[in-house]
Amino acid sequence: MRRILTFYLGIIFLLNLIACNDGTEEKTDDAISTKHQIVGVSVWDRISTRSEPRRKSASTTLLSLGESFLYLDSSAIDSSYNNTKFLKARLSDSSIVWVYGFASELKAVPAVITREVPLYMRPDLLTITDKRINTMEIVAVIEEWDNWIKVVSEKKEKVGWIKKEYITHNDVDLAFALLAKRKLEEQDTEQKIENIEELLENNPYPESIFVQVMRDSLDREKEMLRDSQRDRDWEDMRRRERD
């Protein structure tokens, strides 16, 4: 009787094991992608992605500064162009592309700086540096420790620690900060003012906490323009007097 019971228990165990294995096989890809997924962040604005891990391959789309992607655990080196590293990635529309390694940060999340703050070498107030990170700068957060975070700025120009209270992860704030950054890239003051006014008038993200920051920036640009105009007028007057 004991042998028969042992036999049936063995059969039941074997059937359960087979059933578990079958279930795992059906969900292997999803389980792996959920459990081990690595998120990356673009730290370059309007940088192209490629159809293959080669610089000369077809461009597929553009990544925006602060845009996230899912790293597919595959990388390649383009030895034909300065050993450029590419990362295989899935974008938010599920498209599969290759992104530039130098323009990305893995195991990161995007954020925006809410006020100008100094950078620290380590999560310690005694390690302050002379570098600062500005209000509305989009960064990649790559590490956290206590109430500190380590951030990487656009094009990896600045890396350091700040207090986590000075960032926002809100998607609306990220989107508005990116639009504002592009408007402020204009070098001509008059055109910059026109760009900011257009953004504020047709703002798709009126609920962003940075709207007032942009209004203040507009006031500063207008004041700079008035000062510049006064200086030109003064120079013209002095020139006429000399003549």
User: What does the DSSP assignment read for 168-190?
Assistant: E--HHHHHHHHHHHHHHT--SHH
pLDDT tier at 11, thresholds 50, 70, 90: very low
Alpha helices in 185-210 (DSSP H): 189-201
Please give the share of the chain, as a percent, with pLDDT higher than 90.
Answer: 73
60-109 pLDDT, tens digit each: 999 999 999 999 999 999 999 999 999 999 999 999 999 999 999 999 99
- Mean pLDDT to the nearest integer, 156-173: 98
pTM of the model: 0.80
| HSE-CB of 180 using CA atoms within 13 angstroms | 26
Indicate the SS3 state at residue 9.
helix
State yes or no: pLDDT of 32 exceeds 60.
Answer: no
pLDDT at 239: 77
Say what the pLDDT of residue 227 is.
84
Residue-wise pLDDT for 97-153, tens only, equals 999 999 999 999 999 999 999 999 999 999 999 999 999 999 999 999 999 999 999
Task: Identify which of 40, 43, 48 has the alpha carbon closest to the alpha carbon of residue 154.
Answer: 43
Q: What is the mean pLDDT of residues 3-15?
A: 42
